[in-house]
Amino acid sequence: MKRAILFTLVTLYLSCSNGVFANQLEEIVITAERAEQTLSELSTNISIIARENLVRTDHAHLNEVLFRVSGAWISRGNGQEHLTSIRSPVLTGAGGCGAFLMAQDSIPLRATGFCNVNELFESHSEIAERIEVIKGPGTALHGSNAMHGLVNIITPSMTDPGSSSQFETGVHGYNRVKHQQQTRNWRVDASATRDGGYKDDSGFGQQKLTAKISNSIADFEVLTSISLSNLNQETSGFIKGDDAYANEAVKKSNPNPEAFRDARSARLYSRWSKVSDAGTSLTVTPYLRWTDMTFLQHYLPGQSMEENGHSSIGLQTSWKPGLNWLLGADFERTDGSLKQTQAEATQSGSAFLVATIPAGKHYDYQVTAMVAAVFGQYRWDLSNRSSFIFGARAETVSYDYENQMISGRTMDDGTPCGFGGCRFNRPESRSDSFSNVSPKLGFTHEISDEHQLYTQIGKGFRAPQATELYRLQNSQSVSAIDAEEIDSIEIGLRGGPETISYDLSWYRLNKDNFIFLDTNRANVDNGQTAHTGIDLRLHWQINDQASLAAAWTHAKHTYENNPALSSVNLAGNDIDTAPRNMGSLQFNWLPTNHLSGELEWLYLSRYYTNPENTVKYPGHNLVNLRLQYEFSNKLLAFLRVTNLTDTDYAERADFAFGSERYFVGEPLGAYFGIRLTR
């Protein structure tokens, strides 16, 4: 595999070194410095999903489009739910989402310490102009959570005035409408979706709105934006049994018809930018954030209901006093809350579960979080082809936790549970603080006008999530965990002329203080994991009518010590839900001036579903087809056919409570729509 990739790279280099086409290294990116810069200025990787690919894919779920990023897998749950993998296994649990920074227009979707594994559904990705993904720790501008990677959903910029409307319909009662309206200095994008669901008693309705207005005030260019989302979902749970995803008798069944998830969010920011005649620049972005979510924890004994939410006020600043310097500071205050309540006594399971998981209120707490960070970055140009990039970020995250009910592991009225106490343990009110520094050292060298070597060594971190500190279980009354840390090294080669572009990189990530729930149901931080892999992105413009794009990753994710996740020694084992190989291939063709199409192949290799590496999912291959026909510059029709070969597969495979369980992938499906432009 490695030899094949290296041979491909050498071939590309020899064939393209004398290219005369436009340089791919001059592509504009935003995420690394929250401002426009060329790809050649970065010492780290960045993957870009351009608008033309987003329009062509017209994704109903983000996993459909992010599979085009090598090393990334958004594992789809039911409805709009998901779990994330970026240069990592699919991470779960209270802090699984804390390893990734998810943002829209460079504003994090959720506050530090209050992530949710499904938070990408709060972004307005349906109308995105582009999506940028940094794999591995971010730059000096990115703090807590930017460990394994970050995803930035970039909404449309102000373009020519006009409007467009889109209507589409598909299998299982799927309907969606999108509308965009723009004048010279304001823009509104709206979308509304209704999905009847493939599984029994499932489906969702979701509405989103993003509005922008731009103007000039004094010497500043000001862009103000608000983004709103609402989700009402009837959730289907896992189906259980060996290879149940291929069993026609059960694959559509919903063992949890009572499950639901309701989520709302709002974000408002105002970005003030100023560039002086001397070339210095200043950007100041105050923002507000609000989230509210209620859902039934159908996957837990007793099926308690969780209500969580938070509101934030924050400020991002960056100052470029010269061409090579970047300095800044970020601040945020968040008021969050969580409540967990069980309506009825636990009816199923052992006598131990029935006795220790009672009806009533399990948790009720509030947390005030403060984040303060400063960062700096300097680019040292050795020559017109070689540069070093030095960067560092210092950040402090503090929590002030207040328990709103009786402390300890009793019932909500103080009555003790049998078997030594209730499962749920509420710590006394307390305060915690975490300080971290993340240095970065990068190097770039332009081998030629079309090819660039880049490398970066850096550190990432994440503060513990509030739930890892204050939502305790069994005999754990105090969580003494510290921040997770990850050390990263990456070496890559990228470039190509207009007809061929590529990005090939090797990476190694070593993570310490990995936080997990051990066999005693205590939150501990003594895990160590390693993540090594090769990522390849390739695009070939065959001719004016055809192109080929590919994304591929080969990686190994292992336990480096023996965390207390099992009764057996796990050192050296693959982490569960960590495929060794993943990839996608898209062939695009334009047979006429009006008709275009895309044939897509997706590949996911087998992976273990338990840390003992005794149970595995065999992997799958999927094929999708997309067609567009342009009747005029004002009317376009499109057709999406998913799972063209009607393959039985699982979106997610898991092993828990002694049983294989799955989120089932949908069979052959078709979606048709039209787009009107005015």
- Domain span at residue 455 reads 2-677
What is the reported pLDDT for 11?
41
Which of 63, 60, 150 minimizes the C-alpha distance to 99?
150
C-alpha closest to that of 118 among 258, 295, 256, 252: 295
pLDDT exceeding 90 applies to what percent of the chain? Answer: 86
pLDDT band at 41; cut points 50, 70, 90? confident
Position 12 pLDDT exceeds 50: no
Could you tell me if 559 and 527 are in contact, meaning their C-beta atoms sit under 8 angstroms apart?
yes
Q: What is the mean pLDDT of the chain?
A: 93
Please name which of 223, 228, 224 lies closest in space to residue 210, comparing C-alpha atoms.
228
263/122 Cα distance (integer angstroms): 8
Q: How confident is the model at residue 6 (pLDDT cuts 50, 70, 90)?
A: very low
Token readout for 256 is 């949890």
Amino acid 117 reads V
Least confident of 185-189, 219-223, 399-403, 655-659: 655-659
Dihedral sign (CA 291, 294, 300, 304): positive
**Residues facing residue 424 across a β-bridge:** 473
Q: Determine the pLDDT at residue 4.
A: 41
Other CB atoms within 10 A of residue 368 CB: 15
Tokens found for residue 154: 């970039």
Residue 631 has pLDDT above 90, yes or no: yes
Contact between residue 490 and residue 506 where contact means Cβ atoms under 8 Å apart: yes
Of residues 11 and 125, the one with the higher pLDDT is: 125
Higher pLDDT, 558 or 158: 558
Q: Kindly tell me if the per-residue pLDDT of 301 is higher than 80.
A: yes
Give the percent of the chain with pLDDT over 70.
96
Residue 263 identity: A
Pick from 18, 40, 21: nearest CA to 29: 40
pLDDT tier at 10 (50, 70, 90 boundaries)? Answer: very low
Q: Is pLDDT above 90 for 160?
A: no
- Kindly report the number of other CB atoms within 10 A of residue 2's CB atom: 9
Structure tokens at 118: 């499904």
Residue 388: strand pairing partners: 380, 443
pLDDT band at 22 (very low <50, low <70, confident <90, very high): very low
- For residue 278, what pLDDT is reported? 82
Banded model confidence at residue 32, pLDDT cuts 50, 70, 90: confident
Residue type (1 letter), 398: S
Q: Which two tokens stand for residue 244?
A: 């149940």
Which residues 6+ apart lie within 8 Å of 466 measured at CB? Answer: 113, 114, 336, 338, 367, 369, 399, 401
Instruction: Return the pLDDT at 497.
Output: 83
pLDDT value, residue 17: 37
Q: How confident is the model at residue 24 (pLDDT cuts 50, 70, 90)?
A: low
Task: Return d(Cα 346, Cα 545) in angstroms, integer.
Answer: 62
Q: How many CB atoms lie within 10 A of CB 189?
A: 23
Tokens 């996957």 — which residue?
A: 299
How far is the C-alpha of 89 from the C-alpha of 155, rounded, in Å? 28
- d(Cα 306, Cα 311) in Å, to the nearest integer? 17
What is the bridge-based pairing of β-strands 430-446 and 360-381? unpaired
Q: Which of 590, 585, 677, 587 is nearest to 628 (CA)?
A: 590
4: left (phi over 0), alpha (psi -120 to 50) or beta: alpha
CB distance 188 to 211 below 8 Å: yes
pLDDT at 129: 95
Q: What is the pLDDT of residue 23?
A: 58
CATH of the domain at 410: 2.40.170.20
Neighbours of 277 (CB within 10 A): 5
- Our count of domains for the chain comes to 1
pLDDT of residue 589: 96
- DSSP annotation of 417 reads P
How far, in Å, CA of 453 to CA of 473, rounded?
Answer: 49
| Residue bearing tokens 């260019």 | 221
Q: How confident is the model at residue 635 (pLDDT cuts 50, 70, 90)?
A: very high
Provide the token pair at 585.
């291939």
- Tell me whether strands 149-154 and 100-104 are parallel, antiparallel or unpaired: parallel
Residue 3 — pLDDT band, cuts 50, 70, 90? very low
Is 391 in a helix, a strand, or coil?
Answer: strand
Q: Of residues 536 and 1, which shows the higher confidence score?
A: 536
DSSP state of 155: P
pLDDT digits (tens, 9 = 90+) for 70-122: 999 999 999 999 999 999 999 998 888 999 999 999 999 999 999 999 999 99
